[in-house]
Structures are given as structure tokens and as C-alpha cells.
Amino acid sequence: MNNQEIKGKIYEKITRCIQEIIDGYKIIHQEEDGCDEYGFLYWVECENGFNMREHDIETYMKKDILNYLQNCVLGITINHNDNDYEYQLSENIIYMKTFGIDDINILTKDEIDERNNIIEKIKPLKQRFLKSLDNTFKKDSGYNMDRFLGGLAFKNEICTLNFKDFVNSLFITFNTIDFVYKNIINNSYNKKLIISILKKSELSDEENTKLKNIFKSLPQ
């Protein structure tokens, strides 16, 4: 197989798996479960066995897609002539709203090694951030606990593949109600809160410099 054929097979597998995730959230049963100012609320059962409020489906579906893509770029296996081949991909596709074959970039060994080094740097930062976040909840009752505790269910989706996507994934984690790719970085309230918590996370000089530059580039 040439490189374009490999990318084609990878694209087909990714898009098929994403469609399977979406199909899994097809509603097979629903019943009224109260109402709010917008009308009736519904408790639903989905094809994949999930039971939840209907308005939460999109949030959890996108969480599953995000989680799949993060795992996928770290290693995706395709079969050719009864042989399995594994590839690691650029993480650029994770936060794209849509992507095509040409957006799939297969990493070289040197690029994989470089990313692994970055992952080892960001993983401790993620843990310190979560610890600082937990301390914030405990010390300040002014935060909307329901909103943020719900967001913590997404902590596995906090990206450690590079510093920019680490920041982007924090916004997604902090805003599960408006869970849409890219658009979340416009949320100024979350921006202030995330910066505040990061400052309490014992940043190294390198982390501080990288994160400061990323936040400067975000929309106001």
C-alpha cells in the first residue's frame, strides 16, 4: 500500500467508528420526566444502553467521540492482506469539526518520540490541575458545584498530547452544556477560572511560558 491508500483505510475506519458511536445514541424508549421553562423533559434509553435526559445525549456523544479520537491517534490498527499494521497519527484531527483524508497525518518514529516526551511533561500538569481544581471546590462555595462536578466526569478527555490541546480540552471539560468543538474558547468566564486554577498548580517556568502564550492567542 502506498501512503495515500493507508490514509484512506485509516479514514474509513475512523469515520465508521464515529458513526457507530452516533448510532449508539439512537433513542429506543422515552418517557416524560418533568418540565422546565422550555417545555417537557424526557428520560430516554439509547441503543447503547445509556439512560439519561434527552438533552444530555449530544454532550455524552461528543465526549465519546473525543475520547475515541484521542485514543485513535495514539494507535490505530488497519488490516491489509490478513496482516495488521498500527499507525500513530497527528492529533490535529481531534478538535476538527469535520476532516478528510488529507487531514490525516501519519507520524514518523521521531515525531512519535517527540510527542511521547511532551505527554510525559503534561501528564503531571494535568494531575496538579485536577488537584488544584478539587481544592478550589472545597474552599469556595461560590462556584456552581453541579456544573463543575458534572464537568469532572470528563477528566479522562483532558488532552495530554500537546500544550495547546491540553488548554482546549480544559474548556471542553468546563463547559459540558455548550459542548461544541473550538467554540468553547470564547467563554471568558471559563478562561478566567481556568487561568486562576492553573496558577495554583505549581507551574514550572516552561509550563508557565507555554501556557501564557497559548492564552494570549485565544479570542477575548
Residue 17, Cα to own-chain centre: how many angstroms? 16
pLDDT value at residue 148: 53
pLDDT tens for each residue of the chain, 220 residues long: 788 999 999 999 999 999 999 999 999 998 877 776 666 787 899 999 988 888 788 878 888 888 899 999 999 999 888 889 999 999 999 888 889 999 999 999 999 999 999 999 999 999 898 888 777 767 665 555 555 555 555 667 788 999 988 988 887 777 654 433 334 444 666 777 788 888 888 888 989 999 988 888 876 5
Report strand pairing: 83-87 vs 27-36.
Answer: unpaired
- DSSP per residue, the chain: --HHHHHHHHHHHHHHHHHHHHHHT-EEEEEEEEEETTEEEEEEEETTS-EEEGGGHHHHHHHHHHHHHHHHHT-EEEEETTEEEEE-B-GGGTT-SS--GGG--BPPHHHHHHHHHHHHHHHHHHHHHHHHHHHHHHH-TTS-HHHHHHHHTTGGGS--SSHHHHHHHHHHHH-STT--TTGGGG-HHHHHHHHHHHHTS---HHHHHHHHHHHHHS--
Same-domain check for residues 122 and 192:
yes
Same-domain check for residues 113 and 103:
no
For residues 132 and 124, the answer to whether their CB atoms sit within 8 Å is: no
Same-domain check for residues 121 and 38:
no
For residues 44 and 51, the answer to whether their CB atoms sit within 8 Å is: yes
Tell which of 107, 140, 173 closes a domain: 107
Same-domain check for residues 100 and 117:
no
For residues 172 and 64, the answer to whether their CB atoms sit within 8 Å is: no
Q: List the 51-53 sheet strands across, edge first.
A: 27-36, 39-46, 51-53
Same-domain check for residues 38 and 88:
yes
Tell which of 78, 107, 136 closes a domain: 107
- Domain residues for the domain of 180 are 109-220
Same-domain check for residues 136 and 32:
no
Same-domain check for residues 122 and 198:
yes
Tell which of 107, 129, 160 closes a domain: 107
Q: How many domains does the chain have?
A: 2
Same-domain check for residues 95 and 189:
no
Q: State pTM to two decimals.
A: 0.78
